[in-house]
Amino acid sequence: MQRTPPGTYAEVATAGERFRAFVPAPLPPDPLIVWSPTLRRRFDDALVALGRLDALSAVHQAPQRQPITTSAALVKATELSAATVNKSLVHLECLGVVAELTNRQRGRVFAYRGYVDELAAELAETG
C-alpha cells in the first residue's frame, strides 16, 4: 500500500537563525487506515503500554523530589492507584532506581537509589 508522506520540512528563519520545521500532512491520511482486528489489537496494546510507561514515569519522578518515601505517599503525590504505584515500584526496584529499606509487607519505605548512594559516600568520607 502506498501512502502519501506524513508531512514535509519547511525552511524557517527566526531571530536570524535558520532551521527546518516539520509540517504534518492534513488529516485524514490518504488512503484511509483500515482497522483490521489485528491492527486494532496492536494499537490497543500500544495504548496500554504507554499508560504503564506514563505511570512508571510519574512514580520515578516523585522519589527524586522526596528521596525517602512510602508507597502511600507516592499514591498521594502521583494520584495513581495503590496497585499501580506498587507495581511501578517493583519495576523501579528491579532496575535499581529505588531501594526498599524496610523489608516488610506493609508500611514499606523506599529510597531513591541515587540519593542513598550519595549519602552513603558522604558518610564514608566523613566517618
Q: Given this model, what pLDDT does residue 127 score? A: 67
Percent of residues, the chain, with pLDDT higher than 90: 34
pLDDT tens, position by position, for the chain (127 residues)? 677 778 999 999 888 899 999 999 888 877 788 889 999 999 999 998 888 888 888 888 887 788 889 999 999 999 999 999 999 999 899 988 888 988 888 888 998 888 778 888 888 888 6
Q: Given this model, what pLDDT does residue 110 score? A: 92
Do the Cβ atoms of 49 and 33 come closer than 8 Å?
A: no
What whole-number distance in Å separates Cα of residue 95 and Cα of residue 92?
A: 5
7-126 topology per CATH: Arc Repressor Mutant, subunit A (1.10.10)
The owner of cell 514499606 is: 108
